[in-house]
Amino acid sequence: MKRVFAFAGFSSALALLLLNIVEFEYAVIVTAAALILLVLSLVIKSLRQGKAAPIAFGAALFSCLVFMLTYSSSVEPQFKLSDNNCEAIVEFEIVDIPIECDYGWRYTIKTRKICAPDSPQSIKMHLYTREALNADYYDTVYAKLRFQSSADNAISSYGKFGENVFLNSFLSYNLEETVVVKNDSKPIGYYIITAREWIFDRLDDCLDEYSGLPRALLTGDSGKLPTDVLADFKICGVSHIIVVSGLHVMILSCALLFLLKLLRLGKIAYCVISVPMILFYMGIAGFSKSVTRAGIMLIVMLLSQMLNRKADSLNSLGFSVFIICLNPFAVCDAGAVLTVSAVLGLVVLNPFIRRCVANRIKTKNKAANYVINSICVTASVFVSTLPAVQILFGSVSALAFLTNIVFVLFADVLIILSVLCVALGSLAGVGAAVCALTVLVSRLMIGIAGFFADTFSFLYLDISNEIFAISIAAVIAFVGFSLIFKGRVRLKHGIMIFALLMSFSLAASIYVQGTTAYVAVSPQGCVVAYNRDCAVVIDIDAPVDYCFAKQYLNSRKYDAVLFVDCEYDRKRLTESVKCDYIFAKKKDFTVDLCDDISVKYDSGTVYIKLYDSRAVVTDDFITVNNYRTAKGRGKLYNTDEVYLFSFKDGCDFQLVTES
């Protein structure tokens, strides 16, 4: 059978997605079902001879067993540390570059010993400290820590489970009581981290304040990009450019191939040199799921070339997915899901769309062909990733069809320039010219993103509504029934159905977005009321409130933002918005924030008019129209349907109608 790894990889991924969605106690049922299906596929002659069914169900069963073993041996023992409110002396080492965050500093650490009864040893976790630790990577550190689970499950962990981080930890005592023992013997990981840090320093020295975008493109680290720039890229639909993936790996591989051809080295030499370089670059990019998938696929293709065999793209993708699925929580990482979905669209949909367009538009003009090819690629990726985007984010940019044509070309240039900056930046003359050109391209990209985001922000669409979900489900059902009853997918009919449903859904989404306001309530009691044009933020008193509110402040381009009773750092709050903002003083006032939202503050109570609806925020309660609940329950309300979405799974929530 030709595509063994395609069947194995995608079957493993689907089984693990199901296991991560259901409660752990149901994992035994899923595993038993996979075992029964495997036995039936081996017993039934027609299925056994086809080989696809036994491979698929066998891979699914293998993934189920890996999931159960990992959860029972790694996750549950670590959760016990959190459930018991345990504090313990921990011997650990820092294994990644620290990140400055709202809490202070976040370290990724690997424990050597946890001095608590029946505690797991040698585990990876995040450590949060108010001040920076005076320790080098892989030095031995002793400190008393308290533990907290990083999330309830892989879906809500935002990729932490995929990184094998199941616990967060905090210093129980002052930083001065932490003991650091220098370690002169460093593992290979130390040199990868220091190489990454050296690249950061080189770009910062050469480009100064404009190093943020080159750093993100080259290594995937977007920490130096301002929040307004990140918001602009998101609204333009080009956020994927600042996540290291197949695009970045391929650009650097093509540059390496060009250099080796200049040196007149053959195909075997290219493969031998490229494989370790790709592995090293994966380390520089932090072994993210997207770069891991891209690196594995490219390595498989290079090895196939060296052995004079033609690599099958779908089979290579399946092999990458199978390797990623050896970590049973990696399939819940948004980056992994999106990158695999995107490549699936490029492999399956893009050739068909390109053929359809080529049959109708024939031109030898290179610029025209580039534009046509970019639109085809964007369309195929847009379609293939839409189900994941709808579930994970609930919003999409229709600008992507236009902006990707420009930004992918700029990204190609800027990645190469960033490499040249690292290599030549310290040289006078040539180095200075390269740095100046890098700054120019970076500023140009940021400026264009800002222009498009300001001018066409209305094309950043909310697709979280049921109409979109039903439309996507209908298309998937059509594809599924075609495969079951016809043995193949009728792509022409599928694309027509998809286009009609999406056009209707987009029109409905634009209407809903222009006539609906939302009220988001954090588990700690922060409230964000917003519509398409403006937002009201109430009670940001701590870093966790700020993080909650920031996701809504960065989600769209507002005309104005009003901060009420926000005691948190004003500088951070103002940096989180790119519009007019007002900090209301603690006295009675009335403000018409925009045509459809007005705010009244009366003796500590906030009254918000949202179109024809009303919201009232007190110290203890949030009321939307005739429905009320206690603050701090982690809910999102919709002024049309009141209760829309839960941020915190499993919390006990009940709306009470006011008398």
Q: What is the mean pLDDT of residues 238-256?
A: 78
Q: What is the mean pLDDT of residues 21-41?
A: 86
pLDDT confidence band for 65 (50 / 70 / 90)? very high
pLDDT given for residue 364 in this prediction: 75
* Residue 432: closest CA among 424, 422, 442: 424
Question: Of 218-227, 407-416, 477-486, where does the model show the most confidence?
Answer: 407-416
* Residue 603: closest CA among 586, 621, 585, 624: 586
User: In this model, does residue 32 exceed pLDDT 60?
Assistant: yes
Give the list of residues 6+ apart from residue 7 with CB closer than 8 angstroms, or none.
Answer: 1, 52, 55, 56, 59, 318
pLDDT given for residue 650 in this prediction: 29
401 neighbors 375 (Cβ within 8 angstroms): yes
pLDDT given for residue 57 in this prediction: 86
Instruction: Give the type of residue at 178.
Output: T
pTM: 0.71
Question: Of 321-335, 437-451, 580-594, where does the model show the most confidence?
Answer: 437-451
User: In this model, does residue 649 exceed pLDDT 50?
Assistant: no
Give the list of residues 6+ apart from residue 57 with CB closer than 8 angstroms, or none.
Answer: 11, 34, 37, 38, 41
User: Picking from 159-173, 581-595, 622-636, which range would have the lowest pLDDT averaged per residue?
Assistant: 622-636
pLDDT given for residue 528 in this prediction: 86
* Residue 494: closest CA among 514, 477, 516, 475: 475
pLDDT confidence band for 309 (50 / 70 / 90)? low
Give the list of residues 6+ apart from residue 87 with CB closer than 8 angstroms, or none.
Answer: 144, 145, 146, 147, 172
315 neighbors 5 (Cβ within 8 angstroms): yes
User: In this model, does residue 240 exceed pLDDT 90?
Assistant: no
Q: CB-hemisphere CA count at 13 Å for 597?
A: 27
Q: Give all strands of the β-sheet with 613-617 in edge-to-edge order.
A: 589-594, 597-602, 605-610, 613-617, 621-624, 627-630, 656-657
Over residues 90-136, the pLDDT tens digits come to 999 999 888 877 668 889 999 999 888 878 888 999 998 888 888 89
Give the list of residues 6+ apart from residue 342 with CB closer than 8 angstroms, or none.
Answer: 240, 245, 381, 384, 385
53 is written with which tokens? 């069914």
Alpha-carbon span 452 to 397, nearest angstrom: 11
pLDDT confidence band for 638 (50 / 70 / 90)? very low
pLDDT given for residue 437 in this prediction: 93
Three-class DSSP labels, 398-456:
CCHHHHHHHHHHHHHHHHHHHHHHHHHCCCCCHHHHHHHHHHHHHHHHHHHHHHHHHHC
pLDDT above 70 covers a percentage of the chain that reads: 84
Q: What is the mean pLDDT of residues 395-403?
A: 80
Q: What is the mean pLDDT of residues 357-379?
A: 76
Which long-range contacts does 255-264 make (Cβ < 8 Å, 24+ apart)?
255/416, 255/419
Alpha-carbon span 584 to 143, nearest angstrom: 42
Q: What is the mean pLDDT of residues 46-74?
A: 84
pLDDT given for residue 491 in this prediction: 60
Q: What is the mean pLDDT of residues 328-347?
A: 80
Q: Is 575 exposed, middle or buried (0-12, 13-18, 19+ CB in 10 A)?
A: middle
Alpha-carbon span 586 to 619, nearest angstrom: 14
Evaluated on CA atoms 609, 612, 614, 615, the torsion sign reads negative
pLDDT above 90 covers a percentage of the chain that reads: 7
User: In this model, does residue 644 exceed pLDDT 60?
Assistant: no
Between 461 and 455, where is the model more confident? 455
Question: Of 202-206, 364-368, 511-515, where does the model show the most confidence?
Answer: 202-206
Over residues 423-433, the pLDDT tens digits come to 888 787 888 89
User: In this model, does residue 438 exceed pLDDT 80?
Assistant: yes
Over residues 265-298, the pLDDT tens digits come to 777 777 788 888 888 888 888 777 777 777 877 7
Between 16 and 353, where is the model more confident? 16
pLDDT confidence band for 405 (50 / 70 / 90)? confident
**Mean pLDDT, the chain, as a whole number?**
79
pLDDT given for residue 140 in this prediction: 92
* Residue 341: closest CA among 13, 57, 2: 13
